[in-house]
């Protein structure tokens, strides 16, 4: 089976549509979203509707839950909190109901989805160092854990001899006996100095994961952010990927 696995759309409709169009060329059997459908940009309702139609499963991100009062704004910087309050004010009843329904974890035979980390998933910890990776690896009963949240694509690999390494390779072969924490990056707000949206394809038969990128009209997204009086920073960073 070929899975389309992606994360962190953040209300960026132009980026999401570009990723969906790219996926349509890839013979995907099942789509999975690792959360943060909303936040930062200006099209939360449209992005929620796209995800409801596309993804068979979506797990909760911190912005998703915060936008419907399920996660405290105390954990966000002032600009992010401002965007969340704007989202809360502007989302439809249908979108709010969807975001409230999202669970923290999803499991299939070979893998787990979680937005941040397996230890205390409702705290939305960032998978950004070996210490956090080791805590999640210790809790994994599957070969692979797919995450998002940091907006940085990359893979922690624990080899059969317990050696832990980090890879930025876009194509990862899944080797029996190893464990993998794969961050699929961000559709709507990349931060790895590459402004193009990232999206992943996991092939459960070939045992491979491939990260891909696709260009989109980031200036249109930035214009909408400006028009809605959201923090200007969120528009500017789209052009830089930082």
pLDDT for residue 26: 96
Residue-wise pLDDT for 131-178, tens only, equals 999 999 999 999 999 999 999 999 999 998 889 999 999 999 999 999
Range of the domain at 71: 2-240
Residue-wise pLDDT for 15-48, tens only, equals 999 999 999 999 999 999 999 999 999 999 999 9
Query: What is the number of domains present in the chain?
Result: 1
**Average pLDDT of every residue of the chain:** 97
pLDDT above 90 (res 217)? yes
Pairwise CA distance, residues 65 & 113, whole Å? 16
CB 206 within 8 A of CB 213: no
Q: Which residue stretches of the chain are H helix? A: 13-23, 44-54, 62-66, 78-90, 93-101, 130-139, 218-227, 232-240
pLDDT for residue 161: 87
CA quadruple 159, 194, 210, 16: dihedral sign: positive
Element (H or E) spanning 210, and its range?
A: strand 208-213
pLDDT above 90 (res 222)? yes
The three-class DSSP label of residue 3 is strand
CATH number at residue 102: 3.60.21.10
pLDDT for residue 55: 98
pLDDT for residue 210: 98
CB 12 within 8 A of CB 36: no
| Percent of the chain clearing pLDDT 90 (strictly above) | 98
Residue-wise pLDDT for 81-118, tens only, equals 999 999 999 999 999 999 999 999 999 999 999 999 99
Q: What is the pTM of this model?
A: 0.96
CB 210 within 8 A of CB 27: no
pLDDT above 90 (res 229)? no
Element (H or E) spanning 144, and its range?
A: strand 144-147
Distances (CA, A) of 117 to 25, 42, 135, 140, 152: 31, 27, 8, 10, 14
Q: How much is the average pLDDT of 191-204?
A: 97
pLDDT for residue 156: 98
């Amino acid at each position: 089976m070929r899975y389309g696995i992606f994360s962190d759309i953040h209300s960026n409709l132009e980026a999401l549509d570009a990723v969906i169009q790219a996926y349509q060329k890839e013979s995907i059997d099942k789509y999975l979203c690792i959360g943060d459908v909303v936040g930062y940009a200006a099209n939360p309702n449209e992005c929620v509707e796209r995800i409801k139609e596309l993804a068979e499963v979506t797990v909760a991100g911190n912005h998703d839950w915060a936008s419907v009062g399920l996660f405290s704004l105390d954990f966000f910087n002032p600009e992010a909190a401002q965007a969340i309050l704007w989202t809360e004010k502007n989302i439809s009843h249908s979108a709010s109901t969807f975001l409230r329904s999202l669970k923290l974890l999803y499991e299939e035979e070979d893998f787990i989805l979680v937005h941040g980390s397996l230890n205390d998933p409702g705290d939305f910890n960032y998978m950004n160092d070996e210490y956090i990776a080791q805590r999640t690896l210790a809790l994994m009963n599957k070969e692979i854990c797919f995450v998002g949240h940091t907006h940085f694509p990359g893979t922690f690999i624990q080899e059969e001899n317990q050696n832990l390494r980090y890879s930025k390779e876009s194509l990862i072969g899944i080797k029996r006996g190893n464990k993998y924490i794969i961050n699929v990056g961000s559709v709507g707000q990349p931060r790895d100095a590459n402004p193009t949206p990232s999206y992943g394809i996991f092939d459960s038969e070939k045992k491979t994961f491939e990260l891909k990128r696709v260009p989109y009209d980031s200036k249109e997204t930035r214009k909408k952010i400006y028009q809605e009086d959201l923090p200007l920073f969120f528009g500017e960073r789209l052009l830089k990927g930082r």
